Structure 1
């Protein structure tokens, strides 16, 4: 099996495994939590994204890892991790906490999307061996980060969805009268 195919297979299976785990164990718990507590749990996971700076460490990644990919991924993760930590540190100041929750989720999701774009542009699967010790990040860690960003956005918008459903139900009841 070619390194490109193996990397792509690992990536897809990383998403499948995390979606199965998330759907069975994490999502039911997050949905049952108060919005503040759920977002705090998600921020805690993302606070470890400072680890992405390791993409810049010679010897941890290979010298042939495209620098354009490594630098962008490292600093995007670092920014997201700092914003998540700031959100956790400001939990007692709710308006600031919620602003930072929005910020780390927007920055984090944009970072992941742009990382996928850069990975495609530099043909990262062909250079996957250059990820060295960090091979597990795109295969194991990135899928759960992407999934939790989507969950965070859903949970932030959920009260609006509930209001829309109530308004739609009331409108339907009124029209049936």
Structure 2
């Protein structure tokens, strides 16, 4: 099997175990939590994206990793991680926390989307070995990141609709009935 097929298979199938794990273990817990606590847990996971700067370290990645991919990926990961970390540091200032939650999720989704685009543009599967130790990022860690970004947006919209329902006089959903 060619390296390109192996990389693409890893990339696509990386979502399967995370979706199974997320659906069975993580999502039920996040849904049962207060929305603030759920977003805090998601931010904690994404604060680890600070390590994305390793895409720029010689020896961690190969010398022939396309610059067009490595640079944006490194700074996109780093920016998302920094915003998530700032969100965690501002938990006592709720309006700022919520602003940073929205920001790190928007930046994170944009980063992943642009990384996919750049990977296709520079034919990353052809040089996947140049990812070196960072190979695990797109095939193991990135699927969980995208899944949790989508979950974060869902929870943000859901908490917003609950707040609007409460304001309008409707009874909000009880914690046991949240979806």
Shift of 1:160: 4.4
Q: Tell me the distance in 1 between the aligned counterparts of 2:130 and 2:78.
A: 21
- What is aligned with 1:74? 74
- What is aligned with 1:63? 63
- What is aligned with 2:171? none
- Extract structure 1 runs of 4+ deviating beyond 4 A: 160-164
- What is aligned with 1:91? 91
- What is aligned with 1:174? none
Deviations 1:81-127 (A, max 9, x none): 01000000000000000000000000011011000000010011111
Pairs aligned (count): 166
SS at match of 2:59: coil
TM-score of the two chains, using structure 1 as the length reference = 0.90
Q: Tell me the distance in 2 between the aligned counterparts of 1:126 and 1:42.
A: 33
SS at match of 1:109: helix
CA RMSD of aligned residues (A): 1.5
> Highest Rg: 1 or 2?
1
Q: Tell me the distance in 2 between the aligned counterparts of 1:65 and 1:103.
A: 29
- What is aligned with 2:47? 47
TM-score of the two chains, using structure 2 as the length reference = 0.89
